[in-house]
């Protein structure tokens, strides 16, 4: 009788300081591990206020980008200073309406979600009424430009 022996590959974790940082995916993996290690350190030491390991933001050059024409609905002629700082990116730029820009996708998602919610009364099947968000009046128009 022959029994099959499964070989288990053991993945050795690379030290946090030695992790490669060549792409957005590398930065995201680094930040996930740094966050996990900071959480473990805080669980061991309750007096620890800040994490030991720094969260690194990926450079703008490594982010995927899209070419768009930017325009504003609320103030169509005024430039818009955009500042977005989170665990993924540090972005600071003034956008002038009507011009074409190559912007990182995470900045486009941030801008495209800005707007004023529209609430209306909605009739329920039992005859009662409730207020509900029915739509959103978006502040910006981001028209994609295809270079083909």
**pLDDT per residue as tens digits for the range 35-54:** 888 888 777 777 766 668 88
Contact 56, 29 (CB under 8 A): no
Compute φ and ψ for 101, nearest 5 degrees: -130, 150
Question: The tokens of 129 are what?
Answer: 């009424």
- Say whether both 51 and 62 belong to one domain: no
8 part of a folded domain: no
pLDDT tens-digit map of 88-139: 888 999 999 999 999 999 999 999 999 999 999 999 999 999 999 999 999 9
110 part of a folded domain: yes
- Say whether both 96 and 25 belong to one domain: no
- Say whether both 22 and 76 belong to one domain: no
Of the pLDDT bands very low, low, confident and very high (cuts 50, 70, 90), residue 4 is low
pLDDT tens-digit map of 74-94: 888 999 999 998 878 889 999
Of the pLDDT bands very low, low, confident and very high (cuts 50, 70, 90), residue 59 is confident
Q: Which domain holds residue 118?
A: 58-148
Number of domains in the chain: 2
């Amino acid at each position: 009788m022959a029994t099959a022996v499964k070989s288990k590959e053991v993945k050795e974790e690379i030290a946090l300081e030695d992790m490669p940082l060549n792409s957005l995916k590398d930065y995201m993996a680094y930040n996930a591990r740094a966050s996990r290690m900071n959480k473990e350190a805080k669980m061991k030491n309750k007096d620890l206020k800040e994490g030991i390991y720094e969260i690194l933001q990926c450079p703008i050059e490594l982010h995927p980008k899209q070419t768009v024409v930017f325009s504003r609905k609320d103030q169509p002629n005024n430039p818009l200073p955009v500042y977005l700082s989170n665990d993924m990116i540090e972005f600071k730029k003034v956008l002038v309406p009507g011009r074409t820009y190559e912007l990182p996708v995470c900045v486009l998602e941030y801008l495209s979600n800005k707007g004023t919610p529209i609430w209306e009364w909605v009739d329920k099947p039992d005859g009662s009424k409730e207020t509900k968000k029915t739509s959103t009046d978006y502040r910006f128009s981001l028209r994609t430009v295809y270079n083909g």
